[in-house]
């Protein structure tokens, strides 16, 4: 179990509930025992999908477990099912959309089913000040954003833990019976003060890995696109899946979207460093205006010496989410480095992209209220 | 938390999952911090009920928590709701019926609602070799015995954990958030090897304590008649109830029915020392024939010196369950002590009582199949 100890000697913290500091993503591959998404895997994905999503091209999705086996099975007509999720502790911010946008691309290109879990129970258990009514309300709000991303209503099933517990609980029990306190202590860093709901919770996050097999009454391969911070849960799931008669779920891990102040992961708990899907144009302007850039102390100095796009939250936003065109991203970086592009203009370009994205998203999000019932899981 | 440490210096073990040795019931009152059911309480109960159930007269129900307050409220027209339960790890034996028969008497005499929880999840989590399908099947089987006891179908609601988890889970989460690993370690003796489902489980057993209040949208007093071995769960519940906005549940504790071999608690896992509600007359005869008595080595010696009914499993069965008439119990004991009644004849009397009870019970149990839907909890 030593390789599972998430207590870092590193200067960052990464658990499903806490992300702090500057994460060494390459090191996580070794630490967690995952595999790098390499050229061979990329070209196999490209062959099937007909293109590579920009998040794959740019190494935002950068690590995986068992994806080669998943593609082998896919090529033998044994399709996988997608599973991803969200902890509804607040409104959706654009960082959350990253893996969802990617999952939608996979759904479309591979023509597969998707289970989307909204863990209102988790967020209640791990946030002292939240009531279950709050997290359930946020689950319904977040569901609108999921739908707005454009998933296929016939192939997408949104699970809300407390609403769908009748389906999830028997599967969670099977997992829970085979996970002991030692394991969750080592994997999640729990101690004697952790509440018993939190201790049990990982079983609930395991349950959707088994659900497609139960519904189809055969072993169904499952692929989980998720932030690398969620890998801990699925390491536990993978350890018990075969004993329970299921395949180990495969994973595709993304790096975490950075915050606008450059301090780490985009977080809903620091609203000013994060753009929410419900933000107005004025709010976008204000937040981008305040974003930390790689610019110089004065326009004059920047024209002379150039800026540094590598440490710039504005460029990061563009890279992670708001500019699909690789050449355009590179061109802007070049113009920044050369001193040709100043921060004001550069921020203006990003604002335009974000605002046009949000305008489209917010329209779809309103329409989603009528589509909600089509997307909610029904047993 | 010291007073909660269930690891005994005593020569017996008593937890919700293990009962071993000769239990010192008076000591448990001190250890758990409960109150003895005293003359004053008995006479208040008798005043309301119009009689005293033999299990109260004989001190089988012998300990309580907060029953004086419950009667105060009752006399102010604030009725309580009954809650009891059963872990469905096998078929029902007559020892299980003891608190149910008592609960039925309370329901009738006090005209109150009853929630009956069948914890198929618990028995799955704590029995390595059982599948959830097994414990769920036993839950349905056990429900027939519950119905056969004669509860009021309009006032009785049978909860099966995995079937009613949609109702129980949100309430269990509220409990779980306020119970940490330290507490369950101290109260139940859990350690690092305990599975995370078992760690969480006590929250599920707490949930029905809160359910009546949720359904009626006001604080409802709850009384739990149960074996003293279950007190541990409700000590935990009582510690958190008021924080959650509920009354602490009150309890009525019974001593545990002894086994036919005199070795401890009647247990479904040692079938030959236990009479099941589905046993045939021949099985009853065989098991009672093999029961350990307080008799002498020979009929001749017994006629001369008399037997000892105080250590006799046959007399215990009569005392705990199969002879409501106190004078008859005493008369048989006297005849035993005097050497007038030999074990064969005495066993014959008990067999007759058990067989006539089972004949009636088994008829009702068959009829219960048609009544099951009326008794199952519906939200």
Q: Do B177 and A197 touch (CB under 8 A)?
A: yes
Whether the predicted pLDDT of B2 surpasses 50? no
Please name the residues between 190 and 209 in chain A that touch chain B, using a CB distance below 8 Å. Answer: 190-200, 202-203
Of B121, B174, B202, the CB nearest to A173: B121
Classify the phi-psi angles of B361: left when phi > 0, otherwise alpha if psi is within -120 to 50, otherwise beta. alpha
Tell whether B306 is covered by a domain.
yes
Do A106 and A167 fall within a single domain?
yes
Residue of A159, A195, A245, A378 to mutate when probing chain B, most B C-beta within 10 A: A195
Mind listing the pLDDT tens digit for each residue in B87-138? 999 999 998 999 999 999 999 999 999 999 999 999 999 999 999 999 999 9
Res A2: pLDDT? 42
Can you give the pLDDT at residue B238?
Answer: 98
Give chain A positions within 8 Å (CB) of B169: 121, 162, 165, 169
Across the interface, whether the CB atoms of B177 and A195 are under 8 A apart is answered yes
**Co-location of A96 and A184 in the same domain:** yes
- In sequence order, which residues have a C-beta less than 8 Å from that of residue A70 and are 6 or more positions away? A80, A221, A223, A250
> Are both A174 and A249 inside the same structural domain?
yes
- In terms of domains, do A35 and A144 share one? yes
Q: Which residues of B touch A127 (CB under 8 A)?
A: none
Structural domain contains residue A327:
yes
Can you tell me whether residue A84 is helix, strand or coil? strand
Is residue A266, in this structure, part of any structural domain at all?
no
Residue of chain B whose Cα is closest to the Cα of A197: B176
> Is residue B378 domain-resident?
no
Q: What is the reported pLDDT for B142?
A: 98
Do A73 and A194 belong to one domain?
A: yes
What Cα–Cα distance (Å) separates residue B244 from each residue in A298, B80, B204? 57, 18, 15
If you average pLDDT over every residue of chain A, what do you get?
Answer: 94
Residues A201 and A305 in one domain: no
pLDDT at A109 > cutoff 80: yes
Same structural domain, B276 and B231: no
In a domain, B190, yes or no: yes
Return d(Cα A21, Cα A8) in angstroms, integer.
Answer: 11
User: Confidence class of residue A27 from pLDDT cuts 50, 70 and 90?
Assistant: very high
The reply to whether A136 and A8 lie within a common domain is yes
Give B78-99 pLDDT, tens digit per residue: 999 999 999 999 999 998 999 9
Residue A262 belongs to a domain: no
Q: In terms of domains, do A301 and A326 share one?
A: yes
Predicted confidence (pLDDT) per residue in A169-193, tens digit: 999 999 999 999 999 999 999 999 9
3-state secondary structure B128-151: CCCCHHHHHHHHHHHHHHHHHCCC
CA B378/CA B164 separation, integer angstroms: 8
The whole-number pLDDT of residue A143 equals 98
The pLDDT of residue A379: 65
CA distances from B15 to B19, B36, B193 (A): 6, 20, 17
CB contact under 8 A, B169 and A194: no
CATH number for the domain spanning A286: value is 1.10.240.10
Q: Is A292 exposed, middle or buried (0-12, 13-18, 19+ CB in 10 A)?
A: middle
Best CA proximity match to A313, nearest among A268, A355, A274: A274
Nearest-angstrom CA–CA distance, B359 and B364: 9
Q: What is the pLDDT of residues A269-297, one digit of tens each?
A: 666 788 999 999 999 999 999 999 999 99
Question: Which residue in B40, B90, B89, B46 sits closest to B68, CA to CA?
Answer: B40
Last residue of a domain, one of B229, B256, B283: B256
Option in A132, A166, A172 nearest B173 (CB): A132
Higher pLDDT, B7 or B181: B181
Confidence band (pLDDT; 50, 70, 90) for B269? low
Whether the predicted pLDDT of B10 surpasses 70:
no
From the list A290, A266, A271, the residue with the least C-alpha distance to A351 is: A290
Whether residue B8 is predicted with pLDDT greater than 70 in this model: the reply is: no
Q: What ipTM describes this predicted complex?
A: 0.92
User: Domain check: are B146 and B112 in the same one?
Assistant: yes
DSSP A86: E
Chain-chain contact of B125 with A173 (C-beta, under 8 angstroms): yes
Cα distance between residue A339 and residue A302, in whole Å: 5
Q: What sections of A120-180 are H helices per DSSP? A: 120-126, 132-148, 165-176
For residue B342, pLDDT beyond 60: yes
Q: Let me know whether B209 and B303 are in one domain.
A: no
A198: chain B residues, CB-CB within 8 Å:
176
Flag whether pLDDT at B256 surpasses 70: yes
CATH number of domain containing A90: 3.40.50.620
**Which chain A residues are Cβ-neighbours of B179 within 8 angstroms?**
195-197
How many domains, in total, are found in chain A? 2
Give the range of the structural domain holding residue B288, as residue numbers without chain letter: 271-367
Share of chain A above pLDDT 90, in %: 88
* pLDDT reported for residue B21: 79
What are the C-alpha distances in Å from B216 to residues A166, B158, B210?
23, 17, 10
- In angstroms, the CA B119 to CA B296 distance is 43
A110 lies in a domain?
Answer: yes
| A181 to B196: CB separation less than 8 angstroms, yes or no | yes
> Within a domain: residue B232?
yes
Q: Are residues B150 and B251 in the same domain?
A: yes
Per-residue pLDDT for A369 more than 60?
A: yes
Across the beta sheet with B61-65, the strand order is: B35-36, B61-65, B250-254, B222-227, B81-86, B114-118, B156-160
Cβ-Cβ contacts under 8 Å, A173 against chain B: 121, 124-125, 132, 162, 197
Of the pLDDT bands very low, low, confident and very high (cuts 50, 70, 90), residue A20 is confident
């Amino acid at each position: 179990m030593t390789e599972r100890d998430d207590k870092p000697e590193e200067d960052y913290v990464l658990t499903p509930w806490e992300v702090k500091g500057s994460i060494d993503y390459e090191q996580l591959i070794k630490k967690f025992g995952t595999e790098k998404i390499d050229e061979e895997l990329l070209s196999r994905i490209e062959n099937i999908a007909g293109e590579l999503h920009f998040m794959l091209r740019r190494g935002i999705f950068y690590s995986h477990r068992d994806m080669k086996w998943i593609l082998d099975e896919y090529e033998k007509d044994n399709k996988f099912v997608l599973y991803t999720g969200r902890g509804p502790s607040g409104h959706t911010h654009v960082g959350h959309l990253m893996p969802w946008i990617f999952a939608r691309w996979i759904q479309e290109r591979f023509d597969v089913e998707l289970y989307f879990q909204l863990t209102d129970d988790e967020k209640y258990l791990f946030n002292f000040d939240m009531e279950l009514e709050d997290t359930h309300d946020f689950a319904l709000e977040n569901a609108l954003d999921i739908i707005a991303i454009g998933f296929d209503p016939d192939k997408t099933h949104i699970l809300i833990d407390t609403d769908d517990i009748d389906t999830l609980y028997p599967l969670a029990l099977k997992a829970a019976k085979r996970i002991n306190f030692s394991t969750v202590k080592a994997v999640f860093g729990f101690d004697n003060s952790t509440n018993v709901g939190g201790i049990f919770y990982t079983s609930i996050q395991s349950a959707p890995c088994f659900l497609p097999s139960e519904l189809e009454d055969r072993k169904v391969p499952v692929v989980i696109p998720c932030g690398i911070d969620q890998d801990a849960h699925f390491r536990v799931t993978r350890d018990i899946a075969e004993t329970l008669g299921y395949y180990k779920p495969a994973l595709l891990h993304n790096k975490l979207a950075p915050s606008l102040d450059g301090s780490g992961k985009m977080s809903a708990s620091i609203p000013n460093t994060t753009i929410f899907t419900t933000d107005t144009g004025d709010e976008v302007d204000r937040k981008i205006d305040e974003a930390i850039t790689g610019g110089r102390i004065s326009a004059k100095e920047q024209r002379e010496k150039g800026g540094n796009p590598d440490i710039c939250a504005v460029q990061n936003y563009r890279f992670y989410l708001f500019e699909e065109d690789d050449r355009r991203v590179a061109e802007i970086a070049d113009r920044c480095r050369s001193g040709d592009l100043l921060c004001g203009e550069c921020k203006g370009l990003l604002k335009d992209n974000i605002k046009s994205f949000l305008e489209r998203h917010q329209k779809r999000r309103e329409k989603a209220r009528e589509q909600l019932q089509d997307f909610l899981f029904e047993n």
